[in-house]
Structure 1
């Protein structure tokens, strides 16, 4: 599991600028670049007794915009078609989904697990994959998938890096 770290005051201010608000439910920084710019935040499982949609949140505005342009170009649908036509890619993607579910649940404390069960949210943490998706052969959000990739590695993230050079740009990001 990727080790998250607590942000410095400078990083906390960057995170506020990235998000446009005070961060809520942040456990720490999961990924930063060589300039100490936060790229991915690790999030609490519950925020105000409501499930947070993902374990890893893409915080970089620049990276968010780059991925938004990829999504706007219709790449999600193309990637879903590719998953259906390439069994090996689908197998890797499904394994990434299971690894994410396992990692997310393993990151919970016993107290958090108990509260999740009390609130009736257990299925959200044991059956729903990256971005809270129930159909693992689909893609809900490239932002959440790429955040997971940066924190843990994934087949989908590798494709985005290969095709769009996202990984090459990480150290150039300023916010």
Structure 2
């Protein structure tokens, strides 16, 4: 079960997140998805971290999902998806809409201070053009983890496909 949320992590959740990431977390704005046991699944990250752009808005923190998606990636699914994007114009259009949703959400969740800093440092174009996971070529798939993190919090056709083909969502409590 996935529960969408928008909460600042408390100390207990930060401890869980540090264990999930293998390090102390930096740049977390909020937890945006949890499972039925209240375990963080997806983190929303700040777009400016340590005065530098951080183009990954949604970060998959769930150990269970990371393992599941790594197994799927190891099967060569990214190449399969990229082939489909070349052959299926409707799928490509939906994928481009997923990137547009990601960029819009990134900008929506930036503070005015971060927007001002982005403008001053020349990061605005980068943050408005880089898609899911910071990818520049919206016809390619870089990583299933970032796609799926976005799926759990937004509109992502690759994540929808992963649930339909592999039942990734079914691996959660």
TM class, shorter-length: over 0.9
For structure 1, which runs of at least 5 residues remain unmatched after alignment?
A: none
Report 1:61-76 matches (<5 A).
61-76=63-78
Which of 116, 119, 122 is 1:120 aligned to?
Answer: 122
1:105-141 deviation per Cα after TM superposition (whole angstroms, max 9, x unaligned): 1211221111011111112111110011111111111
1:24 is aligned to 26
Q: Which runs of 5+ in 2 are unaligned?
A: none
Q: TM-score, normalised by structure 2?
A: 0.93
How many residues are matched?
A: 170
Greater share of strand:
2
- TM score, norm. by length of structure 1: 0.92
Helix, strand or coil at the partner of 1:23: coil
Query: For 2:169 and 2:110, how far apart are their aligned partners in 1?
Result: 29
Residues 55 and 127 in structure 2, CA contact (< 8 A), matched pair in contact too = no
Query: Residues 1-175 of structure 1 correspond to what in structure 2 (within 5 A)?
Result: 3-171=5-173
Q: Runs in 1 of length 4+ with deviation above 3 angstroms? A: none
Note the C-alpha offset of 1:8: 3.1
Alpha-carbon RMSD: 1.2
SS at match of 1:4: strand
